[in-house]
Amino acid sequence: MRIEGDVKLDFKDVLIRPKRSTLASRNEVDCTRAFRFLHTGREWTGFPLVAANMDVTGTFAMARALGRFGATAALHKHHDVGALAEFFRGPDARHAFYSLGIGEADRAKLAAVKANGAAPVAICLDVANGYTEAFLDAVKRTRDDNPDAAIMAGNVVTGDMTEALVLAGADVVKIGIGPGSVCTTRKVTGVGYPQLSAIVECADAAHGLKGLVCADGGCTVPGDVAKAYGAGADFVMLGGMLAGHDECDGEIRWEERDGEKVAVGMVFYGMSSDVAMRKHSGGVAAYRASEGKSVVTPYRGPVEGTMQEIMGGVRSMMTYIGATKLKEVPKRTTFVRVSSQLNTVFGD
């Protein structure tokens, strides 16, 4: 047994220190990024935000809505071949990642979508634990099968595995084990890594090899998205913050108010929760425990309002630290640690 003594931080443990700047207004900042993916040379420009590939948020409607902001959605893994082929043949294909796991069935499904004349230009290869040899092999195989597609792969939380995944063929490594809003991995298994430190360490490892990282999980407010970019995240993936909207595929909770039926909430659940396992795998297998939970999020109408809040928060952060372009944000970011007492005062 070994204990690592270095302090590791989460979003709530830091704030971004303001810096002198010549920027007068948040209209002067540009919060888009332009990337050239390492393994394909393919270029991408937009607001680097991705809806999580969860049942509720990884929908075609979400991809279309976020596309209007230059952002993207990772589609969930359970759309059928016909619907996926139709979507990826269409004009909104560039706003979505095709998500898959590492089984032979996943590989066959992607082949079937491609046989239907659709070739996803971005793929999200996604498992809960990216530390297995089988996952590395799957990244290599996916790279060989899809030489022209940008591949995002994860999840991991350490620099060594980030490097291994970039070298195996990932253009973007997805970072996060345990921070998700409906994730119970830390409670059920004791495994995890504070998300802000994971982003800092993995971004450093990936950038050294010209790879990119996507910070996945744990953002609960626009300020957390700003902190993720400050820590070095190239993309940020959101589940809970995008749940509860019209573009989601979730069961709506209604209430009777003044004789009228109004939407008040929407069910949102983890992809390893027993709800998801019942829906997709016929229940929780005897050898495994559920590592996700189900919650009811407030109903929030169209996602447009939330996107404006997130982008407004990021732009404002950029004016506070004097960053004209999103790319400059990590260089201009100094985090200050806040004490746990302060967290309590501010309601964490």
Which is closer to ligand 5GP, CB of 38 or CB of 236? 236
58 near ligand 5GP, judged by CB under 6 A: no
Q: Sign (positive/negative) of CA torsion 82, 88, 90, 95?
A: positive
Cα–Cα distance, 149 to 142 (Å, whole number): 9
Q: Residue 45: beta bridge partners?
A: 34
Q: DSSP state, 175?
A: E
Contact 118, 89 (CB under 8 A): yes
Binders of ligand 5GP among residues 299 to 338 (CB under 6 A) are none
Query: Considering the complex, what minimum distance in angstroms separates the CB of residue 25 from ligand 5GP?
Result: 30
Pick one of 46, 48, 265, 292: the residue that binds ligand 5GP (CB under 6 A).
292
Residue 202: active-site member: no
Quickly count helices (H) and strands (E) in the chain: 12, 15
Report the residue number, 212 or 321, with the smaller CB distance to ligand 5GP.
212
240 touching ligand 5GP, by CB under 6 A: yes
Exactly one of 201, 216, 234, 247 binds ligand 5GP (CB under 6 A); that residue is 216
Whole-angstrom distance, CA of residue 225 vs CA of residue 18: 16
Told to check if 250 binds ligand 5GP by CB under 6 A, we report no
| Comparison of 182 and 307: residue with beta carbon closer to ligand 5GP | 182
Q: Which stretch binds ligand 5GP (CB under 6 A): 35-43, 163-171, 173-181, 324-332?
A: 173-181
CB of 195 to ligand 5GP, least distance (A): 9
Residue choice 46, 130, 232, 239 for contact with ligand 5GP (CB under 6 A) = 239
Q: What are phi and psi of 149, to 5 degrees?
A: -95, 140
Find the part of the chain contacting ligand 5GP (CB under 6 A) among 6-14, 233-241, 256-264, 325-333.
233-241
Q: Which of 31, 124, 183, 202 is catalytic?
A: 183
Q: Within 10 Å of residue 211's Cβ, how many Cβ atoms?
A: 23
Residue 318 CA, chain-centre distance (Å), reads 21
Only one of the segments 5-13, 201-209, 271-279, 324-332 lies at the binding site for ligand 5GP (rule: CB under 6 A); that segment is 271-279
Are residues 39 and 151 in contact, defined by beta-carbon separation less than 8 angstroms? yes
Among the residue ranges 1-9, 165-173, 202-210, 232-240, the one whose residues contact ligand 5GP (CB under 6 A): 232-240
Question: Which residues inside 74-113 make contact with ligand 5GP, applying CB under 6 A?
Answer: none
Q: What is the CA angle 303-243-173, rounded to 5?
A: 100
Letters for 175-204 (x = contact with ligand 5GP by CB under 6 A, - = none) are -x---xxxx-x-------------------
CB atoms within 10 A of CB 34: 12
Site string for ligand 5GP, 112-131 (x = CB under 6 A): ----------------x---
* Contacting residue, 75, 196, 219, 277, with ligand 5GP by CB under 6 A: 219
Tell me the two tokens of residue 233.
């995240």
CA–CA gap between residue 99 and residue 53 (Å, rounded): 7
The answer to whether 270 and 181 have CB atoms below 8 angstroms apart is no
* DSSP per-residue string spanning 27-66: GG-B--EEEE-TTT--EEEE--EEE-SSTTT--HHHHHHH
Catalytic residue ranges: 183
Binding site for ligand 5GP (CB under 6 A): 52, 54, 128, 155, 176, 180-183, 185, 216-219, 237-241, 270-273, 291-292
